[in-house]
Structure 1
Amino acid sequence: MGSPSPLLPRHAGSAMVVGGPTTVLDLGGLRIVSDPTFDAPGPHGYLTKTEGPAVTEDRLGDVDVVLVSHDNHADNFDDRGRAFALAAPLLLTTTSGAARLGSPAKGLAAWDTHSLRRPDGGELTVTAVPAVHGPEDGERDPDGDVNCQVIGFVLAGDGLPTVYISGDNASIRTVTEIARRIPGIAAAVLHAGAARVPGKFRERPVSLDSVRAAAAAAVLGAPVNIPAHYTGWAHFTEGREAIEHAFDDAGLTPVLAIADHGTWLPLTP
């Protein structure tokens, strides 16, 4: 029997994309994981996973909070991701998702906040922010949501960089509202990849495409922009090369932070 994999050391003020949308953030002495997906490649209903994670969940050690932008779709919350999230001390997600998942999930509507105590005695505040999971003109349900209820997150605290995690948002209008209401965002984790699903919205993107990811970076003015959600699933239609090209076209390569999955990236320049 082989020895267990070593635990992933903490990297203060850093983020690591481990596959699909899944990102580990070490911030303020806390370890935060967003949209956990740890399954091996294979079918998930009408979606197909093509790559496993660069880092498996058993290497993450003690996680303080899991953030789930929505629990409705396997590319943001697969089977092992669900088990991982439900074993965490706290799971922050949509109000409808929390009702489905039960403890330890807490539901947040857009602009709701939740504070966590940091090991240094300070606080980390998590603010849920809106997201539109499809085109602006997409059909909306009775709650006003396109596709399903989705939130992003903003993480902030004294002495910490303010970090925006977009969730599956395709709307630049929404990014503009977030930037207006929460100025000074220092780093953004942007779900790019131009996810397209047959039969939905004339196959228009339900997450940021590369051009809109660059536009979001310009609107936010963040000096660090980390793309996620652009590889690992068959319905992601734009990868790393397209993202790099779009940021270059926009003159924004200096603010693009992209690397092989499993690589730590600082949240400040």
Structure 2
Amino acid sequence: MSVVSIRYVGGPTAVVDIDGIRLVTDPTFDTPGDYPIGPDRKLVKTAGPAIEADETGAVDAVLLSHDQHPDNLDESGRAYLSRVPVVLSTAAAHSRLGDAVTALANWETYSLGERLLVTGVPALHGPEGAEAVAGEVTGFVLHGDALPTVYVSGDNASLDHVRAVAERFGPIDVAVLFAGAARTPLFDGAPLTLTSEGAAEAAQILGARHVVPLHFEHWGHFSEGADSLVQAFAGAGLGDRLRLLKPGEVFTG
């Protein structure tokens, strides 16, 4: 079987290499600072990326979970999209960003290269009913003959959606889980992404051999970080599956 490598850039951003194809998740390359979200709210970025946009090399596609929040697509990330031949995202992102984005519906599949397939999968950015406020979000599964199966959750807080992915694609070789239990005043502070315990449960549901967390640090609205992930995975007996990267580090598996 081919291998996959994942280089952690920071926040939700990683460079994924599989079968000679290079992908970037949710490109965010801006510097630390305050980023407005709506007329009266802001998100605070606390650390910059491990590498600059120019250092990602030639990229074949961007996997964009959603475009409406600056912690998943910032100004540098928007400029980055114009350099990439394929951007896969939601129908809502296509409506806002135009033909630069290819909308990938849930369970719809897009071919990259000779073998690699990318399937859009459901994601829910918060508790039930969050779509009307948080907006449309998607996840992705990378798969193909003799290739590892890689799940990229996007900003998903729903274990029911994780179960749906497991039913169709499990067991998963590498689960890239957006964690951090993001919390804002929306929904009375309910987590908008997986909690650490939720990430461990998702790993169990997926039968994941390896788990690479993203989007659990570098923004002020994350309520659970690296230590919490280590504790949750150890408590679930899954510590040997956790691949907790520091910015710039690479997982190969």
TM tier, smaller: over 0.9
Distance 2:243 2:175 in 1: 10
Q: Give the structure 1 partner of residue 110 of structure 2.
A: 114
Offset from partner CA, 1:25-72 (integer Å, 9 cap, x none): 010101100101000001111111110001111111110000100001
* Distance in 1 between residues matched to 2:250 and 2:131, nearest whole Å: 38
The answer for the alignment partner of 1:25 in structure 2 is: 16
Which stretch has the larger CA shift, 25-34 or 181-190? 181-190
Alpha carbons 2:179, 2:214 under 8 Å: kept: yes
1:97 aligns with 2:84: no
Which residue of 234, 238, 255 corresponds with 2:241? Answer: 255
Query: Equivalents in 2 of 1:160, 1:256: separation in Å?
Result: 21
Q: Provide the secondary structure at the position in 2 that maps to 1:265.
A: strand
Structure 2 counterpart of 1:212, which letter? G
Where does residue 9 of structure 1 map in the other structure? none
2:39 corresponding residue in structure 1: none
8 Å CA contact retained: 1:70, 1:76: yes
3-state SS of 2:47 partner: coil
Q: Give the Cα separation in 2 of the matches to 1:183 and 1:230.
A: 24
Aligned-pair Cα RMSD in Å = 1.4
Q: Which amino acid aligns with 2:175?
A: A
Q: Is the 8 A contact 2:124 2:130 kept in 1?
A: no
Q: 1:160 Cα shift?
A: 1.2
What TM-score does the superposition give when structure 1 sets the normalisation length?
0.89
Does residue 150 of the first structure (1) align with residue 146 of the second (2)? no
State the AA in 1 paired with 2:154.
G
Distance 1:140 1:94 in 2: 13
Query: In structure 2, what is the equivalent of residue 225 of structure 1?
Result: 211
Structure 1: how far apart are the matches of 2:21 and 2:104?
20
1:86 aligns with 2:82: yes
Report deviation, 1:261. Answer: 1.3
Structure 2 contact 88–102 (Cα < 8 Å) conserved: yes
Looking at structure 1, the residues matched to 208 and 195 of structure 2 have their Cα atoms a distance apart, in angstroms, of: 18
Aligned residue in 2 for 1:175: 162
Structure with the higher helix share, 1 or 2? 2
Structure 1: gaps of 5 or more residues: 1-11
Within 5 A, what are the aligned runs for 1:170-249?
Answer: 170-198=157-185, 200-249=186-235
Task: Return 5+ residue gaps in structure 2 as ranges.
Answer: 37-41
Provide runs of 4+ in structure 1 moved above 2 Å: 138-141
Correspondence for 2:34 among 24, 33, 43: 43
Moved more, 95-104 or 127-136: 95-104
1:139 shift after superposition = 4.9
Q: CA contact under 8 A between 1:86 and 1:105: conserved in structure 2?
A: no
**1:61 maps to amino acid:** G
User: Structure 2 length normalisation: TM-score?
Assistant: 0.94
Paired amino acid for 1:250: A
**1:64 match:** 60
AA in 1 matched with 2:54: D
Q: Does 1:75 align with 2:62?
A: no
- Aligned match for 1:125, one of 114, 117, 121: 117
**1:73 match: secondary structure:** coil
In 1, the alpha carbon distance for the partners of 2:122 and 2:105 equals 8
SS of the aligned residue for 1:127 comes to strand
